[in-house]
Structure 1
């Protein structure tokens, strides 16, 4: 494919990816207004956010494996249709349960868009050239991440109302559908397939149960409770059954033989810890600016621009340099170091930390994530054959989503506990009674009396800093893991070219084979 053909097809993929990311970020500022309208408390708030992450995480490896068996173009169009249906119905939600169900459907479609975008790029573009185009993925992620909360805030405050937070992505999704139909032309290999539905069931069940435990632990029940004693062993048991099923399946969802490759194992684990740091930055910094510094949702989104700008710049720059030089490990190592430094320095922030100082810390984190996010996928794609391209690509995305989902919920529990501690101490120093902003819910800081407001803002500033201190050791683990990744020269053939070469070799072998006298 020429550069022009790649860019035409890539435009449809990027529009679809933009929609997928936008759907997960646009409701962050709108949720309080939504739940006030249709009813629902803190538990509903948690589940609306978690439902989409849960669906994305559980379905990513399934979409990846299906792309190795069926038409990639048909699958990504199906993912867009699922997303559109979920979004339209979500806009008509009249209860928290209905909204949570629609978010699950949205997550299934968004999981397909996230996984299949990587797979289709690998099919079209060689690893050597892919770094250049992967930068566009990082840029799209950055724009959608910072744009989602801003768009959501504007829509909620306008005459359109919160329902348009779900409708606004539909035109983009339809546009992606049309563009992909006209520009994406991939050959379909017709072959006998057998879908590993048993494996799909057990991986979905294991991940879902683990997510439910993490999202509700510390809120609906203590971490050390009978619920934990039931859920954790059950999730481990389901995971073991999944591994047993995959070891015997003819065409497994996650081919376990992939983990015999040290690069795939190391990069998948590194992606898990990068996901924690990445999602911690996008979720908790928004709370920091709103609750510790008293900023509006729109202003909060603008103040996180250094994080997104760092991600944007490093994604684009590293991709182009990798394409020019063919060297990629240095960016993974530098990215791991910057992510660790960003989390460690953000651990020092407080409510009164000067903004330029916070901006530098955010930029460090953004630069590191931008260097690692797409290049971890690139390292894996460079190691596998065309037949395993979808499964291997989605594996890295799966671990990143899993790390982000579990990290956000677990660190959210840490945040609540630390806020409770700091607010209690602060109110005791004021000889006031606890009860406002003590971790039982998200307070409206602007309505609090001046002394109490100072206590609450200080508590959130200190607590968010502590969250990043907990994240820093995990980021350090990702740095240590990529140190042991062996750099392999990037291949110059795309997935389609490799498949064509393999077919040609098979045909040559068949023509050279001596005729069997029994053949008719």
Structure 2
């Protein structure tokens, strides 16, 4: 929860800047590794196969190749090279082919990264899509709201303080939604409600501009965090309830894969959208002025350039940034709508309170 605040503080207050925010994680990781080695008791080996033989290296390679090629095309298009460039044109069909190959391979692999057959279960599929778009949206939100605040002159520390509203919302609803499901045994309506809450948060972001009161980003982040926190809990328990006990660990890992891919794609797609809109708006407003090309590139590459703008540029540049941010907020609204639809496709299964499960008491999805 305090990561954003700490990162902003070390950026503003130390000579190493943002690099220190990464460096301080090294001793924490090392201590954690030692604690895991000492305290975690590994269950006895239940298979004669070696650990390496049980790793789906082909599936891992296909996943990485698909993401790298797709992200390369998305991030380069319109920013580094034109959308008509062969690099961009080739990246999309190639990434689609890799994705299709990944699905084919996972459907026949003995120990796949993600159990493709389980995705035929309506609830599992709906939960994974909901997690995918929600994580895309939440990661984009936590990346671009601080950028919006810094564009308006807030320091990195001040932006980090405002970012606290998001994890507070996540914590409150992830716990409360779990308690509510424990009491009612229901999750379908709660899942839809969580996505609606996120939609309201995204809608609040859409109306941000250069004169928006400072409390509005707090409210938007709190709503987005609240919607996302409930979604995490609802989708996890819905997936567990929808499969046999023997498949619970596998499908839990699968949901994390969808979250990981969503977080990666979310920021990349949003950054490409933001940069393309910003570039177009700046050229429309200042393209005819002397030295415009160099100045526009400096603005796009360094937000600190806002404090060194030529005379008469500031108002137009800020408006260009607001237009670019609005494109990102519109993307969040679209993702929230997809999240609502996917949550509505889930089926209500029985939530079991113990590991002993009566299979005939659970509806099949």
Q: TM-score, normalised by structure 1?
A: 0.62
Q: Find 2:178's aligned residue among 319, 330, 337.
A: 319
Q: Residue in 2 aligned with 1:170?
A: 26
Name the counterpart of 1:65: none
C-alpha distance in 1 between matches for 2:7 and 2:34 = 27
- On the 8 A contact 2:206/2:326 being kept in 1, the answer is yes
Q: Among 414, 417, 439, which residue is 2:276 paired with? A: 417
Give the drift of 1:461: 2.4
- Name the CA distance, whole Å, in 2 between partners of 1:322 and 1:282: 27
Deviations 1:50-90 (A, max 9, x none): xxxxxxxxxxxxxxxxxxxxxxxxxxxxxxxxxxxxxxxxx
Shift in Å, 1:265: 0.6
Quick one: which of 11, 14, 22 aligns to 1:153?
A: 11
Contact preservation (8 Å) 1:277, 1:339: no
Alpha-carbon offset, residue 335 of structure 1: 0.9
Answer yes or no: is 1:269 the counterpart of 2:129.
yes
**Which residue, out of 143, 149, 153, partners 1:289?**
149
In the alignment, which residue of structure 2 is the partner of 1:328? 187
> How do 1:72-471 and structure 2 match up within 5 A?
143=1, 145-147=3-5, 149-150=7-8, 152-153=10-11, 157-158=13-14, 164-185=20-41, 187-193=43-49, 194-195=53-54, 196-291=56-151, 293-427=152-286, 434-435=292-293, 436-437=295-296, 440-444=300-304, 445-449=306-310, 451-471=312-332
* Change beyond 3 A, Cα 1:159–1:231: closer
CA separation of 1:181 and 1:491: change in aligned 2, threshold 3 A: farther
In 2: Cα distance, 1:146 partner to 1:220 partner: 29
Q: Distance in 2 between matches of 1:374 and 1:168?
A: 30
Q: CA deviation at 1:288?
A: 0.2
Structure 2 gap segments, 5+ residues each: 359-365
Query: 1:316 aligns to what SS in structure 2?
Result: helix
Aligned-partner Cα distance in 2 for 1:186–1:355: 49
Give 1:284 deviation, angstroms: 0.7
What is the CA–CA distance in structure 1 between the aligned matches of 2:171 and 2:290, rounded to whole Å? 46
CA contact under 8 A between 2:79 and 2:275: conserved in structure 1? no
Report which stretch shifted further, 349-358 or 198-207. Answer: 198-207
**Whole-angstrom CA distance in 2 between matches of 1:152 and 1:387:** 46
Distance 1:352 1:225 in 2: 39
Report the Cα distance in structure 2 between the residues aligned to 1:341 and 1:432, rounded to whole angstroms.
Answer: 43
Q: Deviations over 1:88-126 (max 9, x none)?
A: xxxxxxxxxxxxxxxxxxxxxxxxxxxxxxxxxxxxxxx
Aligned partner of residue 451 in structure 1, secondary structure = coil
Counterpart position of 1:52: none
Query: Once the 2 structures are TM-superposed, how far is the Cα of residue 399 of structure 1 from its aligned partner?
Result: 1.6
Match of 1:18 in 2: none
Stretches of structure 1 that go unaligned for 5 or more consecutive residues are 1-142, 502-520
Please say if residues 349 and 462 of structure 1, whose CA atoms lie closer than 8 Å, have aligned partners that are also in contact: no
Deviation at 1:184, TM superposition (A): 3.3
Q: Summarize the Cα distance change of 1:443–1:182 in structure 2 as closer, same or farther, 3 Å threshold.
A: closer
- The CA deviation at 1:336 is 0.5
- How far has the Cα of 1:472 moved from its partner? 0.5
Shift of 1:349: 1.0
CA pair 325-146 structure 1, distance change in 2 beyond 3 A? farther
CA distance in 1, matches of 2:249, 2:72: 27
**392 and 281 in structure 1: CA distance in 2 versus 1, 3 angstrom threshold:** same
Q: Given the superposition, is the C-alpha separation of residues 355 and 425 from structure 1 closer, same or farther in structure 2, using an over 3 Å criterion?
A: farther
**For each residue in 1:13-56, what CA deviation from the matched residue of structure 2 results, as whole angstroms up to 9, or x when unmatched?**
xxxxxxxxxxxxxxxxxxxxxxxxxxxxxxxxxxxxxxxxxxxx
Alignment partner, residue 139 of structure 1: none
**What's the counterpart of residue 35 of structure 1?**
none
- Deviations for 1:189-223, whole angstroms, at most 9, x for unmatched residues? 41144433333322332222222222323222222
Residue 122 of structure 2 contacts residue 346 of structure 2 at CA under 8 Å; is this kept in 1? yes
2:242 is paired with a residue whose SS is coil
2:318 match: secondary structure: helix
So what's the TM-score if we normalise by structure 2?
0.86
Aligned length: 352
Q: Which residue of 2 aligns with 1:473?
A: 334
Cα deviation for residue 476 of structure 1 reads 0.4
